[in-house]
Amino acid sequence: MTHSLEDINAKVKAIAARNPIYAEISQWVGDLLSATVEASKDFRPSDLKLNFDPLPEAWYQGKSLLNPEELSLDWEAVSALYKRLVELVEKREDGRRQAEGLLKAIEEKHNETPVVMKAALASNFEAIEASAKAFNIDSPVLALLLRLSLRPSLLIIAQAVLEHLDLSLWHHGHCPVCGSAPRLADLSGEGGKRRLHCSLCETAWPYPRLRCPFCENDNREELSYLRAESEEGLRVDLCGRCDNYLKTMDLREITGPVILPLDDVATWHLDIIAGKNLEDKSEGLSRAT
Ligand SMILES: [Zn+2]
Ligand SMILES: [Zn+2]
């Protein structure tokens, strides 16, 4: 979903009011995000052949419509946006140190495509981390810049594809458009219906509340959740079978819409809580054996 600059500003303010610890980082990510929205006009609607009438039978069986690794994007526009974002990073304290490495990171290409961009499309976080190490830059900053520079193309594609899909027919835990894993969930409406948000193309689709999207486990005894102290509307859902977790925003308590890149950084403490929980669990297990 595309968001306006006003939506982004309102979200940045709401995050700062809710949790002042995130005021600075959310302002920074909001500025980067606004730059991607301003750049979106340089991206043409995709020339993908969107011939999905009828939909391939495999989609109903759970095969996403697109494979992000195979997308041919306008790499010139994507790289130009990436460079614009690096300029914004450079203005920050400590940014100068990173800028040079960040620019080098996209120089290695395979068939015109920067290799590390391909890694971002494939959600290959090990490859991104290796590249960050090689160029002496912070891996989360590299990952964020890659994701944001790919964002306009991916959102345009997802929007075009979604016109062909009836999401109520999709019952899987991965994205119906691009097949990537969800990064956040939200609850809304009466009874709190759950939607998952794709980590890559930001498509949102409905999914049962009491089922793990990563392993489809629906045994209630293995599903639990944790909350940050004194924080309404935010929690992290845990699966005891596959040990994955999903951060959840309850939009009956927190004002929407979800703007994934911003809401993701403004809930880092939930990633920490989930990581800590997993550590405690594995310690418990090793004590028990
Ligand atoms: Zn997706
Ligand atoms: Zn699971």
Counting ligands in written order, which one lies closest to the CA of residue 219? 2
| Helix axis angle, 139-162 to 95-105, nearest 10° | 50
CA–centroid distance, residue 279 to ligand 2 (Å):
17
Q: How far apart are CA 214 and CA 233, in angstroms?
A: 22
CA–centroid distance, residue 203 to ligand 1 (Å):
5
Q: How far apart are CA 243 and CA 240, in angstroms?
A: 5
CA–centroid distance, residue 219 to ligand 2 (Å):
10
pLDDT value of position 126: 97
Counting ligands in written order, which one lies closest to the CA of residue 199? 1
Counting ligands in written order, which one lies closest to the CA of residue 123? 1
CA–centroid distance, residue 34 to ligand 2 (Å):
35
Q: Residue written as tokens 């790289």?
A: 79
Residue 90, classified by CB atoms within 10 Å of its CB into exposed (0-12), middle (13-18) or buried (19+), is middle
Counting ligands in written order, which one lies closest to the CA of residue 161? 1
CA–centroid distance, residue 197 to ligand 1 (Å):
8
CA–centroid distance, residue 237 to ligand 2 (Å):
10
**Stated pTM of the model:** 0.94
pLDDT value of position 170: 96
Low-confidence ranges of the chain (pLDDT < 70): 1, 45-51, 287-289
**Cα-based distances in Å from 18 to 12, 15, 80:** 10, 5, 34
Counting ligands in written order, which one lies closest to the CA of residue 182? 1
CA–centroid distance, residue 208 to ligand 2 (Å):
13
Reduced to 3 states (helix: H, G, I; strand: E, B; else coil), residue 236 is strand
pLDDT value of position 252: 95
